Structure 1
Amino acid sequence: MGLKIVKYNKVPESGYLDYISEWELSEEIIVPMASSRGDASFQELLTRWAVDETDEVYKKGFVPSTLYFLVDKKKVLGAIHFRHELNDDLLCRGGHIGYGIRPSERGNGYASKMLLMLLGLVEAKGYEKILITCDEGNMASAKTIENANGIFCDKIELEVETTLRYWIDLDS
């Protein structure tokens, strides 16, 4: 199997369109939200994702981030969004990383593999500790985080949802 994570600008348009169309047909909330297309063309998305990596995003209340996709040959299986730093909102919910696997490919261990690949990349960039969160009821995501050596920190109750927070120490 040729599983790898690639930066957004290395994904073929046809692979992305197949991936995002499946999400849209499922009528689920697309995770990570950064991989959503809305009304944008693929070229517009590439431009938006490039801007997301710059300081320009501070003007909108965001932090710089990079979107990667998990691919096997040319099929896009999932997406993982790495936020380069934390603001107050991301510290409570969201963390450094958000990820999702397309509906038809869940249950194959892809989320764990994708997360581990990304953690290797960010460790090589000098990150020492990474915060990852998930909704309290999302046991699959909690298990994925724990399988990547995520250490449960606490629960944060926000309005009607409870967020579980995990830290991953990349130095250990």
Structure 2
Amino acid sequence: MNRLKLVLPTPEYKNKIMDYKSEFIENGDSMDGTAGLRNTETFEEWYGAFCDNLKEETVRDGLVPATTYMAISIDGGRLIGMIDIRHRLNDSLLNLGGHIGYSVRKPERQQGYATEMLELALIECVKLNIKKVLITCDKDNVASAKTIIKNGAELENEISEGNRITQRYWITLD
């Protein structure tokens, strides 16, 4: 595929990231894989948390170390999506969240970008020495399930919580 590259956020991407946030809010979409972008008022607040959460020594209370990437198109430099890799799991992530979360802009969906983003993120997981990757999605999110399965995942089980059913998939890396 090679249409995307994963890039670490820096202040030079401030406008692209804030436009991404605005677009998702306007569409009422879930902003998975954005390291809490929806919940911050400013880019600077979000970027500070992103930097803190990169390392075990500075990770914020209640969170695990994680690396958030922007998926940038190689041709044109568009911000297509964002993907977050959690370096380890806590109990909540083990049950419902997993190692990886991601989102793709609405106009860019159903073009294989999520599959490519996840493929690139799995390469980063190998570098982080994560040998077995847990990825979850809502049972009704068929597109996400297809993306996960295309990257070699096997469904372990489903967990019911109220009206929500979460599917838990594992990918074993070499």
Report the TM-score when normalising by structure 1. 0.90
Pick from 97, 102, 118 the counterpart of residue 99 of structure 1. Answer: 102
Which stretches in structure 2 are left out of the alignment for 5+ residues?
none
- The corresponding residue for 1:21 is 22
* Match of residue 149 from structure 1: 152
Matched letter for residue 95 of structure 1 = G
Q: Please state how far the C-alpha of 1:38 moved relative to its aligned partner.
A: 3.6
Distance 1:147-1:12 versus aligned 2 partners, 3 A rule: same
Q: Could you tell me how far 1:96 is from its partner in structure 2?
A: 0.2
Q: Secondary structure at the match of 2:121?
A: helix
| Cα displacement (A) at 1:70 | 0.4
For residues 36-62 of structure 1, the C-alpha deviation after alignment (integer angstroms, 9 at most, x for no partner) is 24443222221110011233436x221
Aligned-residue RMSD, C-alpha: 1.8
- Alpha-carbon distance in structure 2 between the residues aligned to 1:132 and 1:99: 10
Q: Could you tell me which residue of structure 2 aligns to residue 48 of structure 1? A: 49
Matches for 1:1-172 after TM superposition, within 5 Å: 2-9=3-10, 12-55=13-56, 56-57=58-59, 60-72=61-73, 73-171=76-174
TM-score by length of 2: 0.89
Aligned residue pairs, count: 170
CA displacement, residues 133-162 of structure 1 (integer Å, 9 cap, x when unaligned): 001111100000000000111111122211
Residue 33 (structure 1) shift = 5.0
- Indicate the percent of aligned positions where both proteins have the same amino acid: 36
8 Å CA contact retained: 2:133, 2:171 = yes
Checking the alignment, whether the CA contact within 8 Å between 1:35 and 1:79 is kept in structure 2 is no
| 1-structure distance, mates of 2:117, 2:148 | 11
1:170 to partner: Cα distance: 0.5
Describe the shift of the 1:88–1:35 C-alpha distance in structure 2 as closer, same or farther (beyond 3 A). closer
Residue 71 of structure 2 aligns to a residue whose secondary structure is: strand
DSSP 3-state at the match of 1:82: strand
Q: CA deviation at 1:90?
A: 0.6
Distance 1:10 1:117 in 2: 23
SS in 2 for 1:49: helix
Answer whether contact 1:37 1:45 (CA < 8 A) is retained.
no
Does the C-alpha gap of structure 1 residues 34 and 125 become closer, same or farther in structure 2, counting only changes over 3 Å?
Answer: closer
**1:10/1:126 Cα in 2 relative to 1: closer, same or farther (>3 Å)?**
farther
